[in-house]
């Protein structure tokens, strides 16, 4: 290979697991190995001197699909407390292992999960937007060694994805921005890219997720993610933003369980052609100019309103942010004439599904109606909730509309929860 980070050769060696690690490996169907990189000429590459690590341990999940079709690979970085050489420390959190190795998930999305463990005491982030640190290159070399070794099924190098939590979220961003076009999509959790780091070409695709406690830091996150979103979109990538109302730092336990996040991830390819259409709820970060043409009902802004303010920060647009873990919840029971409403950025038509209540079934609307309008003045009733015990209302609309609203008709009045609206 031309240089470290592009697949510099090396070998895979056995890793001796502890009893604790063996338990986790058995639980999630993982293997553990070392990647040992071949010697790098320090005269040709001075930054790769003798003090730079040339080996790194990792965990790997291999899909069991009998289909020989190439499968994507997800690269995962843990946080700062999960570094060193003891792979058992990877399990400070288990959400991503539970989610991606789950048989039902693998049936829908067969994929590899590659989880290297970074050594302590070595810098990972490069200040220069156009350069990278040797440790980041070592991770890439280890990943390519895994790719070369995989053959049942082979790895689809057009569908390499990366995610991470906190420090690991920053590492995920580093991989995306320092090797433009290598990774098809990234989900950094509790970390944000700097504007100067976004490549001018091949900015790729991000879904940025964090917890919002309503404080000053959350306000900065909200403002900065909007700037990142606009910049990525202007350079031809796709960028989405999601936040949960919580004071905890741990948003990854919720984010990695979001089926819509993974649907979006696996729809992306490095060449921009798309692996499959992404059909998910409209989000506040999509614009008509987004390259993701198959997203349902794109919004140019959070054009949502409600007759009663949202409770605990669940403002009206939360019902359209694409995350199942968020929703609009009225701050008080909705009286007769009350509503939740969305205005689409452009006329829509097709099959419409409105979901009420939380994902676990709480707060489903038992009686009410959905109306649509082309101009916001004249409204037409399209369906109701009384016949569906699952809190959904679905109908086919073959004429253009731009406005949709949910009007509860419950006696006595109840708090309204709207989780999602889909327009196919």
Q: State the DSSP string of 52-92.
A: S--EEEEEEE----S--S-EEEEEEE--TTS-SS-GGGGGG
Decide the pairing of beta strands 185-189 and 205-212: parallel
Structure confidence at residue 300 (pLDDT):
47
DSSP 290: S
Q: How far apart are CA 236 and CA 268, in angstroms?
A: 13
Q: How many CB atoms lie within 10 A of CB 231?
A: 17
Q: How far apart are CA 322 and CA 181, in angstroms?
A: 25
pLDDT, tens digit, 9 for 90 and up, residues 99-114 = 999 999 999 999 999 9
Domains of the chain and CATH, by start:
10-266 (3.40.50.1820), 304-423 (2.60.120.260)
Among the listed residues 227, 233, 140, 148, the one whose alpha carbon sits nearest the alpha carbon of residue 192: 227
Burial of 132 from C-beta contacts in 10 A (0-12 / 13-18 / 19+) = buried
Q: How far apart are CA 16 and CA 2, in angstroms?
A: 32
Among the listed residues 305, 341, 332, the one whose alpha carbon sits nearest the alpha carbon of residue 416: 332
Structure confidence at residue 128 (pLDDT):
81
131-134-138 Cα angle (round to 5): 120
**H or E segment to which residue 155 belongs:** strand 155-165
Overall residue count recorded for the chain in this entry: 424
- Virtual CA dihedral for 190, 121, 76, 82, nearest 10 degrees? -80
Q: How many CB atoms lie within 10 A of CB 312?
A: 9
**Weakly modelled stretches of the chain, pLDDT under 70:** 1, 275-302, 313, 387-388
Structure confidence at residue 1 (pLDDT):
56
Q: What pairs with residue 108 in β-bridges? A: none
What tokens were used for 408?
A: 């509860």
Structure confidence at residue 364 (pLDDT):
93
Structure confidence at residue 289 (pLDDT):
31
DSSP 119: P
Q: How far apart are CA 18 and CA 91, in angstroms?
A: 13
CA distance readout (Å), 387 to 335, 367, 394: 21, 8, 11
Q: How far apart are CA 269 and CA 282, in angstroms?
A: 21
């Amino acid at each position: 290979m031309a240089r470290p980070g592009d697949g510099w050769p090396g070998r895979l060696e056995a890793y001796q697991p502890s009893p604790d690690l063996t338990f986790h490996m058995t639980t999630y169907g993982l293997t553990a190995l070392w990647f040992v990189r071949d010697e790098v000429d320090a005269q040709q590459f001075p930054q790769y001197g003798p003090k730079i690590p040339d080996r790194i341990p990792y965990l790997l999940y291999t899909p069991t699909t009998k289909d020989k079709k190439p499968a994507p690979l997800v690269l995962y970085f843990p946080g700062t407390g999960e570094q060193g050489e003891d792979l058992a420390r990877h399990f400070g959190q288990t959400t991503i292992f539970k989610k991606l190795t789950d048989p039902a998930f693998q049936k829908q999305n067969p994929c590899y999960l590659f989880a290297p463990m970074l050594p302590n005491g070595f810098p990972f982030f490069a200040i220069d937007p156009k350069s990278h640190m040797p440790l980041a290159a070592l991770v890439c070399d280890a990943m390519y060694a895994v790719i070369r070794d995989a053959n049942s099924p082979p790895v689809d190098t057009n569908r390499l994805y990366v995610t991470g939590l906190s420090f690991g979220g920053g590492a995920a961003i580093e991989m995306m921005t320092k090797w433009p076009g290598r990774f098809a999509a990234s989900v950094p959790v509790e970390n944000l890219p700097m504007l100067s780091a976004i490549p001018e070409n091949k900015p790729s695709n991000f879904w940025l997720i964090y917890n919002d406690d309503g404080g000053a830091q959350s306000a900065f996150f909200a403002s900065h993610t909007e700037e990142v979103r606009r910049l990525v979109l202007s350079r031809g990538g796709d960028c989405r933003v999601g936040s949960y109302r919580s004071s905890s730092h741990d948003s990854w336990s919720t984010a990695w369980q979001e089926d819509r996040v993974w649907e979006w991830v696996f729809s992306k390819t490095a060449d921009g052609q798309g692996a499959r259409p992404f059909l998910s709820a409209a989000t506040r970060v999509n614009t008509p100019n987004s390259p993701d043409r198959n997203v349902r009902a794109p919004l140019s802004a959070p054009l949502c309103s409600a007759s009663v303010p949202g409770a605990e920060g669940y403002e009206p647009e939360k019902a359209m942010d694409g995350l199942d873990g968020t929703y609009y919840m009225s701050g008080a029971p909705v009286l007769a004439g009350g509503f939740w409403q969305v205005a689409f950025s452009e006329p829509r038509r097709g099959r419409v599904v409105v979901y009420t209540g939380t994902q676990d079934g709480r707060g489903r609307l038992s009686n009410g109606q959905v109306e649509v309008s082309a101009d916001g003045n004249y409204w037409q009733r399209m369906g109701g909730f009384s016949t569906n015990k699952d809190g959904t209302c679905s109908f086919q609309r073959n004429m253009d509309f731009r406005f949709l609203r949910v009007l509860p008709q419950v006696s006595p009045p109840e708090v309204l929860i709207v989780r999602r609206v889909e327009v196919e």
